[in-house]
Structure 1
Amino acid sequence: MEPERFRDHDAWLQLMMAAHHASSGAAREEFIAWSTSDPMYAADDWSIGRRWDSLHIEGETSITARTFLDKLVQDAGGEVPNVPADEDFTVWESDDDELKDKVEKPRWSVRSLDDLANMPPPRWIVRKILQEESVAVLFGPPSEGKSFVALDLALHLAANMVWHDPRRTVMGGDVLYVAAEGAAGLAKRTSAWRKAHPVPLHADAFSAGYRVAEPVGQGRSEGLSRLRRG
């Protein structure tokens, strides 16, 4: 739809409400981009964004996507049949058991006090430090060696070695180390670690992932812009 057709404020507002309703508010940037593609409102992105955001606050989304589409069709001289919901779509069933498990598996588990008391004890990836199926944070001041500690821990797991203390037993396994920074120094660091710890370490036990920067050459201004944005 051409945005020039919606220069009338009421028509434009109804379309905004319908888009807001259909996307549960997630189409903000798309709606702003569409609205500002009309040269008359090319510089109004800020005010359009504020108007979109006000729909959350005011609860003003009274025009649904279905209502808006019905109006468009009727204005064009057509008619939208009122089909019962159970007849509107064909029932689809999948024979893929793996897909069924993904669809039917609940994201949350609600348990009683008795259920909690009977839960198995936690399994430790690193005894008393890092638990299985959990999220952990290694934090400290800048330049205090956090990356070295994280890499050392990852390599101990990959080698199935206790971590600097006989009590810190580990659950060895394959490790993916994501280097969000300092990827250039990984080769030297891992090489130094292996010299200090001459233990068997199969090739697939440790893998490093890092962001690949697209090379910027002649005529690659778009790649440069992406690098600057990070």
Structure 2
Amino acid sequence: KLMDARELALDILRDRTWSWEDRTSMCLGLAHDLQARIRKGRLYEADGLIERYRRAAERRRLPSGWDRASCSRYEVMEEAFSLFSEMEVLGKDWPAFVSGMKAALYGKGRQAYETRRRAFLESEIGKRLPVLKEQLMVYFVFTYFCGAVYNGNPYGKMKMAATATLLIEELAQALWTDQGGRLTFLDFADGAHRFSREVEHSDSNKAVLEEAVVRRPGFALRRLLAAVESDGSGE
């Protein structure tokens, strides 16, 4: 059932006829609803659930009744970025790098962050972000989602995939800010590589990320959807 759900999620994520935000939100909803079936001991309903989401994806229509939390991306991502300080350090230059990136992102408050984010999204690299984030989500979902066979928590795996993608995007924005509004694809790739080297290369660091997005109210579905769907204005 996990493999069937992953196959559908990957199909959704690769469908560029609709926005990255809607595709990612759909995958989060799929994992959330699958988790509910597992929790209630009704895994036999998984096939029907997957088919319902497949039909919704074909219509490019998110499930009804979804609301974003009354929060901004700034609030959610500042909390997510702070998770780095709870992880073991693998590279000696990582703490100083993260500290500098955090200051570049959030040091001047929400309004400054949102102003810079709008400019970042309009930059050359910003216009490439939908494809780059799609590729990151595909990678994280393909690599980790079926690992839920060991802990029975596919929702946590999907939330971890979305949060990891958003954190790499935040690193890219921080690098863009730090470099005076310039960021090449190689710079973006370097930020993703740094993230991978520090988080993915440590089982305990991956556990910190997954446990946080599962257990902490700051990463509830509605708040994470707000971060995914935000255009930087906080609206």
TM-score by length of 2: 0.25
TM-score by length of 1: 0.25
Relative to total residues, which structure has the larger helix share, 1 or 2? 2
Relative to total residues, which structure has the larger strand share, 1 or 2? 1
User: Which of the pair has more CA radius of gyration?
Assistant: 1
